[in-house]
Amino acid sequence: MLQWAIGNSDPDKLREKAAELERLSAEELLKKQMEIKELMEKLKVPSDAELMKVAIADLNNSSVLLEDRHRALQELLVLVEPIDNANDLDKLGGLLPLIWELSNADEGIRTTSAWVLGELFGVGYGDVSS
């Protein structure tokens, strides 16, 4: 990607931009840094662990609507595909709620819970007793 960017850049424009930045005062440079920091904060995406915690919290909350339980399980189904996430699920407190959902009155909840558990063990979850 870097090679593409270099190959598709105008060296004269790059020199001009670099010269502009060199002429900035310390105050202007600090202002630009703050703008970049604010932009980065706006673009911040939650980590997989944070998303898993939200889904687990929804499963642990008995007042969550059925459709939100479905959503939480669907999210977990995708999130546990990487083995690192699968290994972290129990550490985040997600294994027991999944097991409890196997006895949910809703067939869709039971099925999706089983799929998530199957995905967990399918990726080599390991020892669940630890």
What is the rounded average pLDDT of the residues 20-37?
Answer: 83
Same structural domain for residues 14 and 33? yes
User: How much is the pLDDT for 114?
Assistant: 95
Burial (0-12, 13-18, 19+ Cβ within 10 Å), 15:
exposed
- 127 inside domain: no
pLDDT at 17 over 50: yes
| Whether residue 19 is found in the same domain as residue 73 | no
Provide mean pLDDT across the span 21-37. 83
Model pTM? Answer: 0.64
The CATH number given to whatever domain includes residue 80 is 1.25.10
pLDDT of 32-78, one tens digit each? 888 888 888 888 888 999 999 999 999 999 999 999 999 999 999 99
> Rounded CA gap, 69 and 77, in Å?
12
Domain membership of residue 129 (yes or no) is no
Q: Do 27 and 59 share a domain, yes or no?
A: no
Q: How far apart are CA 61 and CA 77, in angstroms?
A: 18
Within this chain, do residues 97 and 52 fall inside the same structural domain, yes or no?
Answer: yes
Q: Retrieve residue 2's tokens.
A: 């870097």
What local confidence, expressed as pLDDT, does residue 2 receive?
67
Exposed/middle/buried for residue 116 (C-beta within 10 Å: 0-12, 13-18, 19+): buried
Domain extent at residue 109: 48-122
